[in-house]
């Protein structure tokens, strides 16, 4: 088995340079874009060809890079995506924070704001007075929370599928059909019995789903959601230009 | 390559596939005997030459396994370098190799189980009927393991192989300790062996290694395939090679210590264990060697059905061969067609009056011919492939060329020599199948020119593998 730090567990004399070169290769692929060939990377960096090929193959082994279907070109791999995903999103601007604070004063219950990626959710602002029950589950099982259902519904309307559903069979089709028909999503009892949440989409001017506004509270208020949905949609319209 | 369980197999399962296809413990106890019949005193050296050659082939194959993953393994690799025609011929030679090794192993499992029964029922080991029944039983068991899917088959085989290698090493230590310290250096000389006999010995010794590349067939199912598969291939060659050197040295020294000739023994390890007063160890070994042969049959068949599966998917064989089991995700149609053939042929060969050891000597010819031809083709494909993707560097190309030329020379010497032995039908069958394949490929090209171009499916990155894809 390969031991990245050598048998002694210490960085040996030439290893820092090798790590540096590997990162430079990674940067070069990111800079040149998907499809860059091994020879182009070697020429672009002025690294010896054998060294470059070895580093590229190592990065492919560890899935920081992938080889494109033509076998000549390289692109950034999913490990890079995971690194990007684990960097915390920046704080929303002052204007957005004021809208959220005002909404929290008008609604009794948790108000949370998230931003969406292609197949990812990042929490921008979670309610400090009503903390999220299971943040990791919100981020990983899109079919559990109202926030996740919004993204799944959007993906379905675009004909895509998500990799992050826990119980693909469990009545999710009804949830998604309801969300698509009503323009908001909801669930009851999937995190805490007797409690649930509502998710309202925030879209940019082209209609793309960029963020979501979520209310969490007791069952009775989820079952008669008209006032809450109206409040959330109203604030959502103010937040759209600030978050998109 | 939809239908197979994508990215579900870890490093040890990948290693298990290669290790069980090689079946180091079964090979360590049978192949040195076959090598010794040809190379005489130079057996240990022939095994060493085979180790070096196989290391060259392994690092050459890894030029592909580091860059693409495909269930057709060598067959797909060659078509990436030399084109669909050569790829198809490689596929056929591999099928020959996998098929003959599977039959060799089933016969071997039957042979050693019969020897085991012979410990309790004297004379049972020479009963052809008993061996045939045992072979059919092993074939049926293989079917169950294969159809149930990959996790079961690879883990079981690694466990069995580890146990039997452990027993062999214990026997080695026991024998060497009775010999006292010091190494018999005469084992490392050519003696009066001619270069031709040495080449034959080397080819037979290579059959002890063949199968090391078979983990490449798990390219689609392996986790981090570009890291785990090359590593599994190289380590399988190194570790099994060391085991062969130690085991063959010990068997030679053990027999010369008894003043007997190694080549005359039917089952050297059993004779040695009995002669040195540890017969129970021989019993244990019979069980573990039979298990090792069984594991080898299972994993060779696993590799074989995957090539058949890939050919079915690519339109070289009827598309039903590309179907997978709905629940177990195994290539069920390919299993149902190939396994009965592999079981019945050894039974037939024994039924017409050969004993199990003769049947095994016959099957090893096909295995050597098929595998080594495939290795030659893949080594020849590497320089072309690396040139085409613009990643050719000096050493990989040199290694590939040396391996291709050396293998071609020893294989030619071997096949010509085997024509003069009772095993000549094996040579004829291998050559005939390859020529038929070439002809069939020409015909296929005339009738379906589009199929010829599409040969060589490999596992392309899917959307979730590529950032922002």
CATH number of the domain that B184 lies in? 1.20.1740.10
Interfacial residues of A (vs B; Cβ cutoff 8 Å): 1-2, 34, 37-39, 49-50, 53, 57, 60-63, 66-69, 71-72, 75-78, 80-81, 84, 118-119, 163
How far apart CA B303 and CA B326 sit, in angstroms, is 20
Per-chain mean pLDDT for chain B: 84
> Does the distance separating the beta carbons of B468 and A81 come in below 8 Å?
yes
Contact A78 B460 (CB under 8 A): no
Paired strand residues for B179? none
CA–CA min distance B221, chain A (Å): 15
Fold of the domain spanning A94-243: Beta-Lactamase (3.30.450)
Q: Please, is A41 exposed, middle or buried when counting C-beta atoms within 10 Å of its C-beta (0-12, 13-18, 19+)?
A: buried
Q: Is the pLDDT of residue B458 over 60?
A: no
Distance separating alpha carbons of residues A100 and A212, to the nearest angstrom: 12
ipTM over 0.85: no
| Residue B467: inside a domain | no
The rounded radius of gyration (Å) of the Cα atoms in chain B is 21
Residue B5 lies in a domain: no
On the CB side of B185, CA atoms within 13 Å amount to: 0
> Measured between CA atoms, how close is A42 to chain B, in angstroms?
10
CA angle B234, B466, A149 (to 5 degrees): 125
Give backbone dihedrals phi and psi of A209, rounded to 5 degrees, phi first: -70, 115
What is residue B193's three-state secondary structure? coil
Is B226 in CB contact (< 8 Å) with chain A?
yes
Would the CB atoms of B226 and A80 count as touching at under 8 Å? Answer: no
- For residue A216, the SS3 value is strand
Domain residues for the domain of B277 are: 11-461
Q: A234: part of which helix (H) or strand (E)?
A: helix A226-243
CB B62 within 8 A of CB B219: no
Which residues on B lie below 8 Å from A65 (Cβ)? none
Helix (H) or strand (E) holding A201: strand A195-203
Average of per-residue pLDDT across B19-46:
88
CB B269 within 8 A of CB B114: no
Global pTM value: 0.73
Give the C-alpha distances (Å, rounded to integers) separating B203 from A227, B209, B414, B430: 83, 10, 7, 15
Number of domains in chain B: 1
Query: Residue A181 burial by CB count (10 A; 0-12/13-18/19+): exposed, middle or buried?
Result: exposed
Domain boundaries, chain A: 15-85, 94-243
Contacts of B68 in chain A (CB under 8 A): 67, 71
**Inter-chain touch B465–A37, beta carbons under 8 Å:** no
Task: Give the Cα-Cα-Cα angle A161, A167, A172 (nearest 5 degrees).
Answer: 65
Q: DSSP alpha helices (H): ranges in B259-393?
A: 268-275, 279-313, 332-351, 356-388
Q: By the 8 A CB rule, do A60 and A66 touch?
A: yes
User: Residues with Cβ < 8 Å from A159, sequence gap 6 or more?
Assistant: none
Average pLDDT over residues B102-109: 94
Is the residue at B160 inside a domain?
Answer: yes
Q: Is B464 on the interface with A (CB under 8 A)?
A: yes
Q: Are A240 and A138 in contact (CB under 8 A)?
A: no
Going by C-beta distance under 8 Å and a sequence separation of 6 or more, which residues neighbour residue B376? B404, B407, B408, B411
Cα dist. B395→B15, B63, B392 in Å?
A: 26, 11, 9
Could you read off the pLDDT tens digit of each residue along chain A, which spans 244 residues?
A: 444 444 445 566 667 888 899 999 999 998 888 889 999 999 999 999 989 999 999 999 888 998 888 888 898 887 887 777 666 566 788 888 888 988 988 888 889 999 888 778 888 888 888 888 777 788 778 888 898 889 888 888 887 777 666 665 556 778 888 888 888 998 888 888 888 999 999 998 888 888 999 999 888 888 888 888 998 999 988 888 888 7
Nearest CB to B224: which of A61, A71, A119? A61
Lowest model confidence (mean pLDDT) among A24-33, B125-134, B170-179, B392-401: B170-179
Q: How large is the average pLDDT for residues B233-259?
A: 89
- Domain A15-85 is in which class? mainly alpha
């Amino acid at each position: 088995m390969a031991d990245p730090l050598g048998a002694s567990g210490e960085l040996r004399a030439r290893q820092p340079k090798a790590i540096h070169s590997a990162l430079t290769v990674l940067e070069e692929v990111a800079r040149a874009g998907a499809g860059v060939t091994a020879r182009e990377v070697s020429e672009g960096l002025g690294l010896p060809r054998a060294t470059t090929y070895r580093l590229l193959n190592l990065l492919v082994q560890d899935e920081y890079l992938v080889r494109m279907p033509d076998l000549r070109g390289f692109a950034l791999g999913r490990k890079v995506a995971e690194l990007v995903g684990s960097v915390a999103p920046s704080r929303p601007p002052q204007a957005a924070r004021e809208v959220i604070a005002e909404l929290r004063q008008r609604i009794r219950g948790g108000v949370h704001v998230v931003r969406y990626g292609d197949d990812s959710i990042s929490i921008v602002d979670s309610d400090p007075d009503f903390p999220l029950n299971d943040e990791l589950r919100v981020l990983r099982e899109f079919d559990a929370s109202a926030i996740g259902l919004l993204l799944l519904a959007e993906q379905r309307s675009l004909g895509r599928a998500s990799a992050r559903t826990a119980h693909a069979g469990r009545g999710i089709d009804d949830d998604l059909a309801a969300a698509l028909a009503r323009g908001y999503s909801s669930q009851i009892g999937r995190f805490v019995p007797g409690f649930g949440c509502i998710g309202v989409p925030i879209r940019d001017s082209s209609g793309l789903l960029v963020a979501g506004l979520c209310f969490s509270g007791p069952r009775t208020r989820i079952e008669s959601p008209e006032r809450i949905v109206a409040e959330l949609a109203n604030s959502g319209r103010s937040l759209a230009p600030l978050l998109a | 390559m939809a239908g197979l369980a994508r990215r579900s197999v870890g490093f040890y399962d990948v290693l298990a596939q290669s290790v069980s296809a090689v079946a180091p413990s079964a090979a360590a106890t049978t192949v040195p005997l076959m090598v010794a019949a040809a190379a005489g005193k130079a057996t240990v050296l022939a095994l060493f030459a085979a180790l070096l050659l196989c290391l060259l082939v392994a690092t050459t194959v890894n030029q592909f396994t580091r860059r693409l993953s495909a269930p057709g393994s060598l067959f797909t690799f060659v078509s990436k370098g030399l084109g669909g025609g050569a790829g198809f011929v490689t596929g056929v030679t591999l099928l020959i190799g996998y098929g003959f090794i599977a039959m060799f192993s089933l016969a071997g499992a039957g042979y050693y189980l019969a020897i085991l029964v012979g410990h309790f029922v004297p004379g049972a080991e020479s009963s052809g009927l008993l061996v045939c029944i045992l072979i059919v039983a092993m074939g049926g068991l293989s079917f169950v393991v294969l159809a149930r899917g990959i996790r079961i088959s690879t883990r079981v085989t690694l466990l069995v192989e580890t146990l039997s290698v452990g027993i062999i090493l214990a026997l080695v230590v026991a024998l060497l300790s009775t010999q006292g310290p010091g190494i018999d250096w005469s084992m490392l000389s050519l003696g009066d062996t001619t270069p031709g006999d040495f080449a034959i010995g080397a080819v037979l010794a290579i059959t002890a290694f063949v199968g090391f590349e078979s983990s490449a067939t798990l390219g689609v199912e392996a986790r981090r395939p570009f890291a785990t598969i090359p590593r599994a291939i190289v380590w399988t060659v190194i570790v099994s090679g060391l085991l062969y050197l130690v085991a063959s040295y010990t068997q030679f020294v053990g027999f010369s210590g008894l003043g007997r000739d190694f080549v005359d023994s039917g089952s050297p390890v059993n004779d040695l264990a009995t002669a040195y007063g540890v017969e129970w160890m021989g019993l244990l070994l019979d069980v573990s060697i039979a298990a090792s042969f069984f594991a080898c049959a299972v994993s060779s068949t696993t590799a074989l059905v995957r090539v058949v599966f890939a050919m079915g998917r690519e339109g070289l064989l009827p598309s039903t061969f590309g179907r997978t089991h709905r629940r177990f995700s195994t290539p069920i149609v390919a299993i149902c067609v190939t396994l009965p053939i592999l079981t019945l042929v050894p039974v037939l060969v024994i039924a017409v009056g050969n004993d199990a050891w003769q049947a095994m000597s016959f099957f090893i010819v096909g295995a050597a011919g098929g595998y080594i031809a495939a290795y030659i083709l893949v080594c020849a494909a590497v320089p072309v492939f690396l040139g085409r993707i613009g990643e050719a560097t000096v050493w990989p190309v040199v290694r590939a060329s040396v391996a291709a030329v050396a293998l071609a020379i020893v294989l030619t010497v071997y096949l010509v020599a085997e024509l003069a032995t009772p095993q000549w039908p094996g040579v004829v069958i291998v050559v005939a199948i390859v020529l038929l394949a070439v002809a069939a490929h020409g015909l296929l090209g005339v009738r379906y020119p589009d199929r010829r171009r599409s040969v060589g499916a490999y596992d392309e990155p899917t959307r979730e593998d590529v950032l922002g894809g």
